[in-house]
Amino acid sequence: MVLTLDEANHITQGALKKARALNIKISVAVCDAGGRLLAFQRMDNAIWASAYGSQGKAVASAAFARPSGELSARADHPTPRGIAAAEGGHMIMGQGAVPIERNGITIGACGVGGGTAQEDEDCARAGAEHL
Protein backbone atom coordinates (compact mmCIF):
# COMPACT_ATOMS: atom_id res chain seq x y z
CA MET A 1 0.00 0.00 0.00
CA VAL A 2 1.29 3.42 -0.90
CA LEU A 3 0.32 6.96 -0.14
CA THR A 4 -0.29 8.78 -3.42
CA LEU A 5 0.66 12.33 -4.28
CA ASP A 6 -3.01 13.27 -4.58
CA GLU A 7 -3.68 11.87 -1.10
CA ALA A 8 -0.62 13.65 0.32
CA ASN A 9 -1.76 16.96 -1.15
CA HIS A 10 -5.23 16.40 0.31
CA ILE A 11 -3.66 15.83 3.74
CA THR A 12 -1.68 19.08 3.51
CA GLN A 13 -4.91 20.94 2.76
CA GLY A 14 -6.55 19.52 5.88
CA ALA A 15 -3.63 20.67 8.04
CA LEU A 16 -3.64 24.14 6.48
CA LYS A 17 -7.39 24.45 7.07
CA LYS A 18 -6.88 23.68 10.77
CA ALA A 19 -4.02 26.20 10.97
CA ARG A 20 -6.25 28.90 9.50
CA ALA A 21 -8.93 28.06 12.08
CA LEU A 22 -6.30 28.39 14.83
CA ASN A 23 -4.96 31.60 13.24
CA ILE A 24 -1.40 30.31 13.07
CA LYS A 25 1.18 30.07 10.27
CA ILE A 26 2.65 26.62 9.66
CA SER A 27 4.61 24.39 7.37
CA VAL A 28 3.19 20.94 6.71
CA ALA A 29 5.06 17.94 5.35
CA VAL A 30 3.72 14.57 4.28
CA CYS A 31 6.14 11.70 3.81
CA ASP A 32 5.78 8.08 2.74
CA ALA A 33 6.40 5.10 5.03
CA GLY A 34 10.12 5.33 4.30
CA GLY A 35 10.28 8.95 5.45
CA ARG A 36 10.65 10.43 1.96
CA LEU A 37 8.87 13.70 1.28
CA LEU A 38 5.74 13.51 -0.89
CA ALA A 39 4.11 16.90 -0.32
CA PHE A 40 5.06 20.12 1.42
CA GLN A 41 3.41 23.50 1.95
CA ARG A 42 4.63 26.56 3.87
CA MET A 43 2.07 29.25 4.62
CA ASP A 44 2.90 32.87 3.88
CA ASN A 45 4.81 34.36 6.83
CA ALA A 46 5.41 31.00 8.54
CA ILE A 47 8.83 30.95 10.17
CA TRP A 48 11.50 29.43 7.91
CA ALA A 49 12.55 26.91 10.57
CA SER A 50 9.08 25.36 10.45
CA ALA A 51 10.02 23.83 7.09
CA TYR A 52 12.68 21.72 8.79
CA GLY A 53 10.59 20.99 11.88
CA SER A 54 7.61 19.70 9.93
CA GLN A 55 9.73 17.36 7.82
CA GLY A 56 11.83 16.06 10.72
CA LYS A 57 8.78 15.27 12.82
CA ALA A 58 7.09 13.51 9.89
CA VAL A 59 10.18 11.35 9.30
CA ALA A 60 10.29 10.33 12.98
CA SER A 61 6.57 9.54 13.06
CA ALA A 62 6.79 7.38 9.95
CA ALA A 63 9.91 5.58 11.18
CA PHE A 64 8.41 4.58 14.50
CA ALA A 65 4.74 4.35 13.39
CA ARG A 66 3.51 6.57 16.22
CA PRO A 67 2.95 10.24 16.96
CA SER A 68 6.31 11.98 17.14
CA GLY A 69 5.49 13.43 20.56
CA GLU A 70 5.45 9.91 22.02
CA LEU A 71 9.12 9.63 21.09
CA SER A 72 10.30 12.63 23.13
CA ALA A 73 10.77 10.77 26.41
CA ARG A 74 13.13 8.25 24.78
CA ALA A 75 14.86 10.56 22.30
CA ASP A 76 18.17 10.36 24.18
CA HIS A 77 18.02 6.59 24.66
CA PRO A 78 20.82 4.88 22.69
CA THR A 79 18.51 2.96 20.34
CA PRO A 80 16.36 5.82 18.97
CA ARG A 81 19.38 8.13 19.00
CA GLY A 82 21.35 5.53 16.99
CA ILE A 83 18.50 5.04 14.53
CA ALA A 84 18.24 8.80 14.04
CA ALA A 85 22.00 9.06 13.45
CA ALA A 86 22.01 6.15 11.00
CA GLU A 87 19.10 7.74 9.12
CA GLY A 88 21.12 10.90 8.66
CA GLY A 89 19.99 13.05 11.56
CA HIS A 90 16.76 14.26 9.98
CA MET A 91 14.39 12.93 12.65
CA ILE A 92 12.88 15.27 15.20
CA MET A 93 11.37 13.36 18.10
CA GLY A 94 9.10 16.14 19.31
CA GLN A 95 5.36 16.67 19.25
CA GLY A 96 3.80 17.67 15.95
CA ALA A 97 3.45 14.66 13.64
CA VAL A 98 1.15 11.67 13.35
CA PRO A 99 1.39 8.49 11.30
CA ILE A 100 -0.97 7.91 8.41
CA GLU A 101 -2.40 4.41 8.38
CA ARG A 102 -4.42 2.35 5.97
CA ASN A 103 -5.84 -1.01 7.08
CA GLY A 104 -3.60 -0.94 10.15
CA ILE A 105 -0.40 -0.36 8.15
CA THR A 106 1.62 2.85 8.38
CA ILE A 107 1.85 4.31 4.88
CA GLY A 108 3.33 7.69 5.81
CA ALA A 109 3.14 10.57 8.26
CA CYS A 110 2.03 14.18 8.46
CA GLY A 111 4.28 16.62 10.30
CA VAL A 112 3.68 20.26 11.17
CA GLY A 113 5.89 23.06 12.47
CA GLY A 114 5.23 26.69 13.27
CA GLY A 115 2.75 26.66 16.14
CA THR A 116 3.02 25.37 19.67
CA ALA A 117 3.72 21.66 19.99
CA GLN A 118 0.04 20.95 20.63
CA GLU A 119 -1.11 23.18 17.77
CA ASP A 120 1.31 21.41 15.44
CA GLU A 121 -0.05 18.01 16.44
CA ASP A 122 -3.65 19.22 16.14
CA CYS A 123 -2.97 20.42 12.59
CA ALA A 124 -1.14 17.20 11.68
CA ARG A 125 -4.00 15.12 13.05
CA ALA A 126 -6.53 17.23 11.13
CA GLY A 127 -4.50 16.65 7.99
CA ALA A 128 -4.35 12.90 8.50
CA GLU A 129 -8.08 12.80 9.23
CA HIS A 130 -8.74 14.79 6.05
CA LEU A 131 -7.64 11.76 4.06
CATH number (domain holding residue 33) = 3.30.450.150
The pLDDT of residue 131 is: 87
Which spans in 1-131 are helix H? 5-22, 49-64, 78-87, 117-130
The pLDDT of residue 111 is: 98
For the chain, how many structural domains are there in total?
Answer: 1
Between CA 113 and CA 72 the distance in angstroms is 16
Whole-model pTM over 0.85: yes
The pLDDT of residue 74 is: 87
Q: Are 63 and 83 in contact (CB under 8 A)?
A: yes
Between CA 40 and CA 112 the distance in angstroms is 10
Q: What is the span of the domain harbouring residue 111?
A: 5-130
The pLDDT of residue 95 is: 98
pLDDT in tens, the chain (131 residues): 899 999 999 999 999 999 999 999 999 999 999 999 999 999 999 999 999 999 999 999 999 999 999 999 988 889 988 998 998 989 999 999 999 999 999 999 999 999 999 999 999 999 999 98
